[in-house]
Amino acid sequence: MRKKVFTLLLLTVFMLAQFSTASAVAVAGDASITAIPDFSSGTGVDLDWAATGMAAGTKNILVWARVYAAVPVAYDPADCQLIATIIGTSDASGTFAFDFTTTANLNALGTGDQVEFTLSVDDQTCATADVPAIDSVMAVNYVDSDDPYGFRGSPPDVDVTTPGVIEDNRVACNTFELWGVAGDDDVIPDAYSGVGPWNPSVTGTFAVPAPIGADDEVFSWVFSFPSTASGAWSMSIDPEDAIGNTDGFADYYRDGTLLTTVDAAELADCETFSDISGHEDEVYVRYLASLGLISGFADGTFGPDNTLTRAEASALFEKANGYDDTMLPCYGSCWL
């Protein structure tokens, strides 16, 4: 082959290689996910993003997502979404609502699924953009689409003719008390996002104090009725988890439409002792004393912090033999 022809062929190959390499270079710019919640619902998640050092001209910020797998799979353009189109700016940031329901492989996520995200900067849209490297993961999000669960109870209903009718619960010892325990991980422990507000609601003709622990796994609400309390009142809770899942139905402790007035028996004081005022177990001690299950000493004291003797324990067991599960504090109304 003549030297000139060989030189021309070599130059041609070199130019084609240069053209091919140049056309495969991604648009300059670095994108990152700056914040994303640990948990989200099964419909979508908000993520904060930022991009720096982008080249001039028009470029797209793309977010790619996939379900976690022990052996990572390639990102799918069908699970990619366009965050923003940037024109002539080197830096940008914002918040994007990634919608799971519009993707091909993420529209049926369930509680416990783990989603991996990464970003890219490209002059193309999702369908034709360069797919990120298979080991590229910038953020992870767990899916929690289940309602919280739990139970709640109160001192036993003084109206024993209708045990377990939660709309008709009555007050004992002139004191209203409601307690609850909730969780969010009964099926898949990894999907525990935490308990959010209990959303308590009360109506009536008298003021009540705010509940204690309304934004935690344990709920407690205690107050004493004024002697002038009258009329209908209701109280309900509707707990939700940390990302807003709830069954949407209020769980009534008492519904004022079914029990129209405060009953006189509800305002009557229970038995009391000289050394239990203000004690954390005062209500329970007084209630059990009124039921005849416990009694104090001859000097009018109870000794709430005393060590229980064997004889006292035997007496309690004997007296309790006449009670069954229908008389327990949350019989028939434990589950939320």
Domain coordinates in residue numbering, the chain: 27-143, 146-269
pLDDT at 288: 79
pLDDT (tens digit per residue) in 36-94: 999 998 899 999 999 999 999 999 999 999 999 999 999 999 999 999 999 999 999 99
pLDDT at 152: 72
Helix (H, G, I), strand (E, B) or coil at 261: coil
pLDDT at 212: 62
Helix (H, G, I), strand (E, B) or coil at 178: strand
pLDDT at 189: 54
Q: For residue 292, with 0-12 CB atoms within 10 Å meaning exposed, 13-18 middle and 19 or more buried, which class applies?
A: exposed
Report residues of the chain scoring pLDDT below 50.
1, 3-25, 157-167, 328-336
pLDDT at 8: 40
Nearest to 119 by CA among 107, 129, 105: 129
pLDDT at 11: 39
The reply to whether CATH 3.40.50 applies to domain 146-269 is no
Sheet strand arrangement including 234-237: 201-203, 234-237, 251-254
Quick check: do 27-143 and 146-269 share a fold? yes
Tell me the pairing of strands 139-143 and 58-67. unpaired
8 Å CB contact between 95 and 155: no
Q: What is the distance between the alpha carbons of residues 65 and 262, in angstroms, rounded to a whole number?
A: 57
pLDDT at 170: 66
pLDDT (tens digit per residue) in 249-289: 887 777 766 656 787 777 777 788 899 888 878 877 887 78
Tell me the pairing of strands 139-143 and 114-122. antiparallel
Level-2 CATH architecture, domain 27-143 = Sandwich (2.60)
pLDDT at 168: 53
Tokens 């009964």 — which residue?
Answer: 186
DSSP 118-151: EEEEESS-TTTSPPPPTT---EEEEE--SPPEEE
What is the enclosing helix (H) or strand (E) of 166? none
pLDDT at 27: 75
pLDDT at 86: 95
The number of beta carbons lying within 10 Å of the beta carbon of residue 148 is 25
pLDDT at 235: 80
